[in-house]
Amino acid sequence: MKNMTFTTVLLCILFMPFFISSCTDKIDEHYEEPEWLKGSAWEVLEDRGNYSLFLQAVELAGFKPIMEGKSILTVMAPDDTAFSAYLEKHGYSDISEINLDELKKVIGFHLLYYSYNKNKLVNFRPEGDLITDEEMNKNAGLYYKFRTRSSNVPTMEVEASTGKRRMVYHLDRFIPVFSYRFWDTKKLDAASNYTYFYPNSTWKGTGGFNVSNAAVSEYEILADNGYVYIVDQVIEPLETIYTQLESNENYSIFFNLYNENTTYTYDATLSKDFGAALGADSLFIHTHGTSLPAIAVEWYSTKYSDVANNASKAYSVFAPSDVAMNNFFDNYWEKGGYESLDDVDDLAMKYMLNQFIYEDGIAFPDEITSGKVKNMYDMVFNFDPSKVTDKSMCVNGVFYGLNTIDTPILFASVVGPAFRNKDCNYYLYMLDGTGLITAYSSQDTKYVLLVPTNEQIESEDIYLRTYADGSKLQQETEDGLVDVSSSVMRTIVNIHTATGVDGLKTNGTQVLATQTGFNYWYVKDGKITSSAAYNQILEPDNNVEPFSEFTEVKNGNDNWNNGRTYMYSGTALFQAQEGDGLQHKLSVCNDNRYVYYQFAQLLQKAGMVMSSNYIFGLAGASHVIGFIPTNEAISTAIAAGQIPGMDATGAVTSSSQLRQYLLSYFIRDRENALISYPYPGSAMKSSTYVTASGKSLTYTDSGSLLSIMVDGKVANVISDYNFFPFAFDDGCFQLIDTVL
């Protein structure tokens, strides 16, 4: 047994070298560099021999380690001929003459983060490749921007509102890759739309793509650490729209007005990742508040994880030149009482600036001429792109310079006077506070608008006050200054708005329903009042004339594009009806000078007054409509013994009978669909309604007269008050000429 063991061990020792040799061969074979690996991106270009200038620039800019394999990447490489042309174009005799920061910016723009094959650059999918063919073809090519290693050095800027110095971090540039799928999806001609922004380049992307200003001459060269693409030009780094505007003095007015809204937003992630290396505790992003797009920021979204938006979205800015801005001021704001562009209200100017921004991506010339490009207020950008001399592709969108501009659709709408007139700018803040401005620019609705002056709004102790963070409407109260709530502003705006009519009559009478339910304007012979103000004439001691003169306000010699706008005289602001309602008025009336005194006395005698605010049979209804006989008609009927439940002396003989009789003068929304109070031409149509007593009431609107009928007895609404209903929150009444 021992001999066998010894023999076995001896044989193993003798044959061990052969085993080791065999294993070594297999290991070498396994780890042998495959033939398809060509070396790093640096080595691939170095082996080709015609990229020495580009590689020299890469090394000087400090990017050689990542080219050699420290990181995966995609390289857009110009050959020596292309790089020499770039040096000559910019007046350099040698790469060493280029400022190092500028060189980093240029070379970094050729180095994309991550490794992209041709298919991914043609049709990048932010959701990944594990998607269906249908999903793959959705918005194909429109995720066209890719992050590069090009960025500007941080800048130190002074925050105007605080005087503090802020270190602004500039994010890596995204490079646009315009593939044939991009143009196919947009249904645009590739060559003409591409060369519009790149007139010194040629579209050669059929079946592939152009990379910003460069065409690709060779695709998808595989390297150990990514892909290399050969391009025919050095790719010029794109700047932000903000930088383009800043560098062109022809747009200084637009730029300076835009820049007045500058804010510096602290970025915790950037501060943590890069602050220490830059010697700063805090890093900021240069934005322009919440109401204007951040055209100074390289990325659409500053969130690194927001790949889809950063790859697809951009801004188009159609900046009016200084000449265009001055002409607009002369023809618009100066006529509204402003003395200069600097004098124009900040909110009006923010809306003005926003008129010239398209937030849904790059707008190409063919899209503009087809009328597809509209701003958020539905304004079509109507100009001839072929006549635009200043235009540029930017890292965050495109810039067009306009030498002439039309009045923006919002500024030419019925709310135009709030934008134009200096003495109406309080109302602009109300419109803005309600979020209704966009609705008022709609061309689908015709409006009639009353625009109150600042003085009229101040009559309610509402004032516009300016603070470091902007202006806002505030109201004087017993507790001091409080911000005017959006609900209060909406109520004021709605009571000044009507629809469904062409305008206000200057002769005769007219009733217009406002946007505040059951509140109206009453027009008589060129004067106007609100239903709430009109109710004052019910008061026996009233000496106030409820009607005010009104004047139409036009857009120069033209009407506003979606209706008519008026201003009314006086210092009081039109208000919605509030406070004591119809039931209260009837419950507490004991003064025989009121036009409804006799009817109120009948209610009391019938035991129907339950409190100072409720009447038996009417409580619980949101709205009631009463047809109340005049005092004279009731007195005559009592004397004639015509009131059921009451004798000729006015004594009650049956309270229940009298109650049922009086309820026949009311219709409630519990039994009837009441959408309007009655007046000639109102939305309350001629029909049979159910009274509070259960009887049928036939209401007839002839267009000029009103009448009712119960149990065959007809009564006519008297014309003494021009058929204007006395309207309250809980109901209204019309006076009729006889009892039923």
Per-residue pLDDT at 135 exceeds 50: yes
Per-residue pLDDT at 583 exceeds 90: yes
Per-residue pLDDT at 14 exceeds 70: no
- The confidence score (pLDDT) of residue 25 equals 43
Domains (range + CATH), the chain: 41-152+171-237 (2.30.180.10), 249-402 (2.30.180), 443-568 (no CATH), 582-736 (2.30.180.10)
Percent of the chain whose predicted confidence (pLDDT) is above 90: 88
Per-residue pLDDT at 21 exceeds 60: no
CA gap 56, 84 in Å, rounded: 12
**What number is the average pLDDT over the span 420-436?**
96
Quick check: 293 and 301 in contact, CB under 8 A?
A: no
Encoded amino acid at 71, one letter = S
- The confidence score (pLDDT) of residue 11 equals 36
Residue 242, SS3? helix
CA gap 594, 533 in Å, rounded: 17
End-to-end CA distance of the chain: 135
CA gap 66, 63 in Å, rounded: 6
Say which residue the tokens 């600036």 belong to.
353
pLDDT per residue as tens digits for the range 636-665: 999 999 999 999 999 999 999 999 999 999
* Residue 410 Cα to chain centre, angstroms: 12
Per-residue pLDDT at 285 exceeds 90: yes
Quick check: 91 and 97 in contact, CB under 8 A?
A: no
Task: Read off the pLDDT band of 36 (50, 70, 90).
Answer: low
* Residue 406 Cα to chain centre, angstroms: 21
- The confidence score (pLDDT) of residue 37 equals 58
- The confidence score (pLDDT) of residue 22 equals 42
CA gap 115, 183 in Å, rounded: 24
Task: Read off the pLDDT band of 530 (50, 70, 90).
Answer: very high
**What number is the average pLDDT over the span 257-269?**
94
- The confidence score (pLDDT) of residue 31 equals 32
Question: In the Cβ-directed half-sphere of 646, how many Cα atoms lie within 13 Å?
Answer: 25
- The confidence score (pLDDT) of residue 449 equals 97
Question: In the Cβ-directed half-sphere of 6, how many Cα atoms lie within 13 Å?
Answer: 3
- Reading the block at residue 513, the tokens are 């329903």
User: Per this entry, what is the length of the chain?
Assistant: 740
Task: Read off the pLDDT band of 15 (50, 70, 90).
Answer: very low
Residue among 103, 113, 104 nearest 148 (CA): 113
Task: Read off the pLDDT band of 58 (50, 70, 90).
Answer: very high
Query: Beta partners for 167?
Result: 156
Task: Read off the pLDDT band of 35 (50, 70, 90).
Answer: low
Per-residue pLDDT at 9 exceeds 60: no
H-helix or E-strand spanning residue 122: helix 118-122
Quick check: 392 and 399 in contact, CB under 8 A?
A: yes
pLDDT per residue as tens digits for the range 728-737: 999 999 999 9
Reported pTM: 0.86
H-helix or E-strand spanning residue 454: helix 454-458
DSSP string covering 228-240? EEEESSPPPPP--
Per-residue pLDDT at 90 exceeds 90: yes
- Reading the block at residue 141, the tokens are 């090519």
The residue ranges of DSSP E strands in 478-536, in sequence order, are 480-483, 497-499, 509-513, 520-524, 527-530
CA gap 428, 341 in Å, rounded: 17
Q: Where are the alpha helices (DSSP H) in 153-267?
A: 180-186, 190-197, 241-246, 252-259
Q: Which of 22-26, 85-89, 105-109, 588-592 has the lowest mean pLDDT?
A: 22-26
**Burial of residue 20 (number of CB atoms within 10 Å: 0-12, 13-18, 19+):** exposed
- The confidence score (pLDDT) of residue 468 equals 81
- The confidence score (pLDDT) of residue 23 equals 39
CA gap 380, 371 in Å, rounded: 6
Query: What is the phi/psi pair of residue 59, to 5°?
Result: -70, -45
Q: What angle do CA 382, 385, 389 make, to 5 degrees?
A: 125
Quick check: 79 and 54 in contact, CB under 8 A?
A: yes
- The confidence score (pLDDT) of residue 719 equals 97
The residue ranges of DSSP E strands in 494-574, in sequence order, are 497-499, 509-513, 520-524, 527-530, 548-553, 563-568
Sheet holding 462-467, edge to edge: 462-467, 470-477, 480-483
| CB crowding 507-540: b at 16 or more within 10 Å, else e | eebbbbbbbbebbbbbbbeebbbbbbbbbebbee
Percent of the chain whose predicted confidence (pLDDT) is above 70: 95
**What number is the average pLDDT over the span 393-411?**
96
Per-residue pLDDT at 367 exceeds 80: yes
- Reading the block at residue 144, the tokens are 């066209």
Per-residue pLDDT at 205 exceeds 80: yes
Query: Beta partners for 473?
Result: 464
Per-residue pLDDT at 225 exceeds 70: yes
Give 517's DSSP letter: T
Quick check: 521 and 514 in contact, CB under 8 A?
A: yes
- The confidence score (pLDDT) of residue 16 equals 42
**Phi-psi label, residue 300: left if phi above 0, alpha if psi -120 to 50, beta otherwise:** alpha
**What number is the average pLDDT over the span 527-538?**
96
CA gap 98, 93 in Å, rounded: 9
Residue 519, SS3? coil
Task: Read off the pLDDT band of 29 (50, 70, 90).
Answer: very low
DSSP string covering 393-438? EETTEEEEEES--PPPTTTTSTTHHHHH-GGGHHHHHHHHHHT-HH
- The confidence score (pLDDT) of residue 184 equals 98
Strand 497-499 versus strand 509-513 pairing type: unpaired
- Reading the block at residue 577, the tokens are 């009806």
Strand 726-728 versus strand 391-394 pairing type: unpaired
CA gap 71, 223 in Å, rounded: 12
Task: Read off the pLDDT band of 129 (50, 70, 90).
Answer: confident
Averaged confidence pLDDT in the chain: 93
